[in-house]
Amino acid sequence: MRKILSGFLFRLLKGYDIWVLIAFLLIGTAYIDYQLIDSELGFFCTKEEYEDIEERGYRFNELGVSAHDAYWVYYEPVPQESYDILTNTKTSAPVEPPMFIIALSINVIFPAILMMIFIPVFFGRFFSDGTLKNLVACGFSKVKIYISALVFTCIVDAAVYFIGLFAFAVVCLFARWAPPVYLPVVAPVILVLLLMLFTMSAVSLAALFISYSKIICAIAGFILAVLMVSPVGNNSYYKVYGSYDFEFELSQESNQVYKEQENGISSKFDLSSLIERYYFDGKELNFFKESNLSTGERVASLAIVYMDPYQGASMIWQNNVSTCLLVRDGFMAINAASNVFWISFFTFAGITLFKKRETPC
Residue 323 lies in a domain: no
Is the same domain home to 218 and 249?
A: no
Q: Convert the pLDDT of each residue in 38-51 to its tens digit.
A: 877 777 665 555 45
C-beta separation of 164 from 30 below 8 A = no
Query: How large is the angle between the packed helices 311-318 and 96-106, nearest 10 degrees?
Result: 140
Which of 15-19, 117-121, 223-227 shows the lowest per-residue confidence on average (mean pLDDT)? 15-19
pLDDT band at 251 (very low <50, low <70, confident <90, very high): low
Is the same domain home to 218 and 260?
A: no
Residue 23 lies in a domain: yes
pLDDT band at 141 (very low <50, low <70, confident <90, very high): confident
What's the burial of 220, exposed, middle or buried (CB within 10 Å: 0-12/13-18/19+)?
buried
Is the same domain home to 278 and 182?
A: no
Is the same domain home to 99 and 246?
A: no
DSSP string, 77-130: ---HHHHHHHT-TTB-TTTHHHHHHHHHHHTTHHHHHHHHHHHHHHHHHHHHTS
Is the same domain home to 211 and 120?
A: yes
196 vs 253: which has the higher pLDDT: 196
Helix (H) or strand (E) holding 267: strand 266-270
> In sequence order, what are the beta bridge partners of 277?
268
What number is the average pLDDT over the span 54-65?
Answer: 74
The length of the chain in residues reads: 361
Is the same domain home to 212 and 245?
A: no
Q: Using DSSP, state whether 74 is helix, strand or coil.
A: coil
Give the span between the Cα atoms of 98 and 328, in whole angstroms: 15
Residue 131 lies in a domain: yes
C-beta separation of 214 from 245 below 8 A = no
Q: What is the pLDDT of residue 53?
A: 46
Q: Convert the pLDDT of each residue in 119-139 to its tens digit.
A: 898 888 777 776 777 777 777
Is the same domain home to 176 and 73?
A: yes
Counted domains in the chain: 2
Give the span between the Cα atoms of 94 and 40, in whole angstroms: 12
What number is the average pLDDT over the span 55-76?
Answer: 84
Q: What is the pLDDT of residue 2?
A: 75
Task: Classify residue 112 as left (phi > 0), alpha (psi -120 to 50) or beta.
Answer: alpha
Q: What is the pLDDT of residue 266?
A: 86
Domain range for 266 is 239-307
- Check pLDDT > 70 for residue 341: yes
- Check pLDDT > 70 for residue 56: no
Is the same domain home to 49 and 189?
A: yes
Residue 300 lies in a domain: yes
- Check pLDDT > 80 for residue 352: yes
Which of 100-104, 131-135, 200-204, 240-244 shows the lowest per-residue confidence on average (mean pLDDT)? 131-135
Is the same domain home to 224 and 243?
A: no
Report how far Cα 194 is from the mean position of its chain's Cα atoms: 8
- Check pLDDT > 70 for residue 54: no
Give the span between the Cα atoms of 34 and 278, in whole angstroms: 35
Which amino acid makes up residue 336? A
Computed over every residue of the chain, the mean pLDDT equals: 85
Domain boundary among 307, 322, 342: 307
What number is the average pLDDT over the span 64-77?
Answer: 90
DSSP string, 269-328: EETTTTEEEEEETTEEEP-BPPP-S-HHHHHHHHHHHHH-TTHHHHHHHHTSS-HHHHHH
Q: What is the pLDDT of residue 302?
A: 95
Is the same domain home to 299 and 168?
A: no
Residue 325 lies in a domain: no
